[in-house]
Structure 1
Amino acid sequence: MKLLLYLILAHLVADFVLQSDQLVKSKNDYYKEFNKYISIKNPLLKHGILVLLSMQILHLFYDNSLLIILMTIIITTGHLLIDHKKLIITQQSCKNGLLYFSLEQFLHLLWIYFASIFFKVSYTQKYIWLFGSYKSKYNNGEIEIPDIDTYILGSIIILILFSIVAGSVISFILEKLKIVNNEVDVHVIEISNVMIEEGGVSDVQEEIAVSNEPSLAMSKTNQKIGIKIGIIERLLVIIFVAMGQYSAMGLILAVKSITRFEELKNKKKSEYYLLGTLLSFLFGILGGLLIKRLID
């Protein structure tokens, strides 16, 4: 069970934490032109390196180093094949919705699950040597690497899922509702965290960015700020709920309302603001309740 949690955590880190917007864009651009070929120039291979390296943390907790390397190579290969097929399908169909995103992640996790069952690696206590030949009279110059509790691993996975991954889900939901018109302010999209493809920029944002209206032009800085606002917002909600401090969530709403006071006077803008905020809070509350149940 713990091996599976380590692998899932490594997958989330590689797919959502370490993968940059630029890498996501490079993959999409490559498959628009060369969607049937795999070459050394394919940006997908860079992503594969991130996936492979992220799983090497297993060496700190498990024996059978060669078996771990073989397992992680097989998982990475499967990951790349799934991404490759998904990118071909989405580029050919010109669609990249929540269904494709969910199916892709399900296949990744299913592949990881089967790999964790097939490969038998055993946990062992590992140590780090201090200062080369330095010897301590207490532990002979060794520091014991502590085993990470299952509850801690589960909590970290939930934090990533309901803060970062949830941003991608929110983007697909809002994009499905066709939130693009001349009355939509850029800040509504920022607060709602309209993202796509593991934190990338959505089609909605791209349409706004190329708009002839100066007020609707979204700079890259504003995009990044908007994404960070949403992630921090959900992290705070998760922490407050897990701690049972439900009233503290009112501070987040108060700050957001104050900073967007002028925008909220417009009915259309306020509706989009409310929708994005409610979705963000929903994921944050669910994540907090799961962590609270896990640690109780």
Structure 2
Amino acid sequence: MTSLSLVSFFCAHVLGDFYFQSEKLAQKKAQSFNYTMLHIAIYSAVMIVVGVALMILGYHLSWLVWVLILVSHGLIDSLKWFLTNRPYVKPKFDKWLYLGDQLLHLLLISIGNAYVTGSLSLDKELAVDVLFLSKCLLLSLVIFKPANLTFKLVFEKYQYEVKERSLETQPEIKLATTVAGAGAAIGNLERLIMAIFLLLNQYGAIGLILTAKSITRYNKIATSPAFSEYYLIGTLYSLLATLLPYLVIFQPIVTNG
């Protein structure tokens, strides 16, 4: 991923689909199509702002880019809303609708970017700096809210099992033993530090993060098999949710042909 336009469009997508969509709006989208249209309008505004910024920097964007990215986003979100509100679509399929929705958006943005012509009119060194900073921004956006939401949707059933098994084995212990939101905050900090170490090429230091995290949870890991399994899932996911975006954004596959 070496194109500034592609990185910028991905940043706009993450901002519009996650950071400018509150949890309240996401819930109302499932109840009324009007709120889905509101989200589409907000997303389009973010994408247009980024597109205008690219044109100011010297990119010449074909109108096909706007048609493909904006219209396709509206169609995909409308289709998702329609399927979500069908009685034959069970709640257990929500995570697959979410993953399919995101994959389609990213695929179509990539195709739309192929229509972008022209190049940055800045000098080469400044263009490289802007691209690197854009990649850092994209990485930081991906590893926070999107990573948390994806984990919650994909691994929800394991979290439920931990709660149920904890009640069976230790009913006298209240489940609310941690601060609300602490888990997400810990995960965010963990992934941020991992990303910084990856950017500094300090791969071995990532092990220190995992070790420190394990020490603080040692008692629960030793006494609760259910928690230890869930903890391992969360830790491995956090590592994967940082490593994969880093590799895709900063280490494009080069083929000799």
Q: Deviations over 1:171-197 (max 9, x none)?
A: 344235574342348xxxxxxxxxxxx
Q: Distance in 1 between matches of 2:70 and 2:243?
A: 33
Per-residue deviation, 1:61 = 3.4
TM-score w.r.t. the length of structure 2 is 0.72
Q: Which residue of 2 aligns with 1:203?
A: none
Q: SS at the partner of 1:19?
A: coil
Q: Alignment RMSD, CA only? A: 3.7
Unmatched tracts of structure 1, length 5 or more: 126-145, 186-211
Q: Which residue of 2 aligns with 1:244?
A: 201
- Higher share of residues assigned helix: 2
The amino acid across from 2:174 in the alignment is S
Q: Distance in 2 between matches of 1:118 and 1:218?
A: 53
The amino acid across from 1:58 in the alignment is G
Unmatched tracts of structure 2, length 5 or more: 253-257
Q: Distance in 2 between matches of 1:105 and 1:258?
A: 36
Q: Distance in 2 between matches of 1:243 and 1:255?
A: 20
Q: Which residue of 1 aligns with 2:255?
A: none
- 1:106 matched to 2:103? The reply is yes
Per-residue deviation, 1:258 = 4.1
Please say if residues 82 and 104 of structure 1, whose CA atoms lie closer than 8 Å, have aligned partners that are also in contact. yes
Q: Distance in 1 between matches of 2:244 and 2:106?
A: 21
The amino acid across from 1:104 in the alignment is D
Worse-superposed segment, 159-168 or 275-284: 159-168
The amino acid across from 1:60 in the alignment is A
Q: 1:256 aligns with which of 191, 213, 236?
A: 213
- 1:12 matched to 2:9? The reply is no
Structure with the greater relative contact order (CA < 8 A, sep ≥ 6): 1 or 2? 2
TM-score w.r.t. the length of structure 1 is 0.64
Per-residue deviation, 1:259 = 3.6
Q: Which residue of 2 aligns with 1:94?
A: 90
Please say if residues 263 and 270 of structure 1, whose CA atoms lie closer than 8 Å, have aligned partners that are also in contact. yes
- 1:77 matched to 2:77? The reply is no
Q: Which residue of 2 aligns with 1:269?
A: 227
The amino acid across from 2:236 in the alignment is L
Q: Distance in 1 between matches of 2:154 and 2:110?
A: 28
Q: Distance in 1 between matches of 2:13 and 2:250?
A: 24
Q: SS at the partner of 2:201?
A: coil
Q: 2:150 aligns with which of 159, 169, 173?
A: 169
Per-residue deviation, 1:226 = 2.5
Per-residue deviation, 1:267 = 1.9
Per-residue deviation, 1:285 = 3.4
Q: Runs ≥4 in structure 1, deviation > 6 angstroms? A: 64-70
Q: Distance in 1 between matches of 2:174 and 2:71?
A: 45
Worse-superposed segment, 280-289 or 227-236: 280-289
Per-residue deviation, 1:162 = 4.2
Q: Which residue of 1 aligns with 2:164?
A: 182
- 1:54 matched to 2:46? The reply is yes
Q: Distance in 1 between matches of 2:110 and 2:236?
A: 33
